[in-house]
Structure 1
Amino acid sequence: MNAAVVEGMCTVDTGALTRAADLLTSARRLLLVGNGGSAFVAQAAVLRSVSIGCPADAPADAVTQQITARLLGLGPEGVCVPIGSSGASAWTDYFWPALVLQRTDLVLQIGVRSFLFAEDENWGAVMADSGLACLPIFALYLLLQRQVLDAFVRSGLR
């Protein structure tokens, strides 16, 4: 295995990740919370959850989310899952990586953001760091490009 992959795997708090996975797999009910552009993702997650037999709700607005959480009384068998997929969400950008990783200085989003807290905002460094962060995903796409395109063709999307 590549040394960088091994080092990256060592930073994951497997205990926290296992506990989160156990909570989700043993949940009898899910409350999925997504606002703005993330509400659609929460609705799609409800569809998947219900299709595998786990009751789930995804209220559309914050007030209904709070009322649903209180009225359902999720208890030990229910799990509330915040979903952030629409950009700069404090949950997905900072909290989740900091929760899963043992060392928060390795959280990429915090590193990129640190360039903006300097005396003079260094947008060149932010763009360079963000570009470098996209390289592994781009390399993975290049490796799997044929399979991705074949999947689109098989599904009828062209």
Structure 2
Amino acid sequence: MMPSLLRDYQVRHLHLSPLVTVHEDQPIRDVIAQMQTYRIGCVLVCAQDRLTGIVTEMDVLRKVESGGDSVEDPVSSIMTRNPVCIAQDASIWEAAEKMNEGGFRHLPVVDAQGAPQGYISIRSLVIYLADQFPDTIYTLPPDPHRFPSTPEGP
């Protein structure tokens, strides 16, 4: 049931995170400000309505951790260029596969012309699954393979 549901529904049915973009030459501090303002985990980097890169919270963390660089450096110094994307009419299954295979927590979504529409996150996939299968998801024990050592009751 679950695989067919994921194959039948398109990415456009997921809750897309807002389309928040910056330009490659903007300072990293602008990315940090956008992430804080919109409470998001990544910002898409665009030039002339085309996706050129992505900056995630992990990219920013690595930048801060390295210590030697300034938040005044351009976004281009930390962004991932030409990120893997998914079309909004692709299946949710395809999106999950791409995210799993690439180890991505965020996946930009583009329209038929390649223009960015937002992104999906691991969180949006989990929320979608919980909404579709509430009885299964919400009644799972913490460890479904563990059995009680003693029976309940008198």
TM-score under structure 2 length normalisation: 0.25
TM-score (normalised: structure 1): 0.25
Q: Which has the higher strand share?
A: 2
Please identify which structure carries the higher helix content: 1
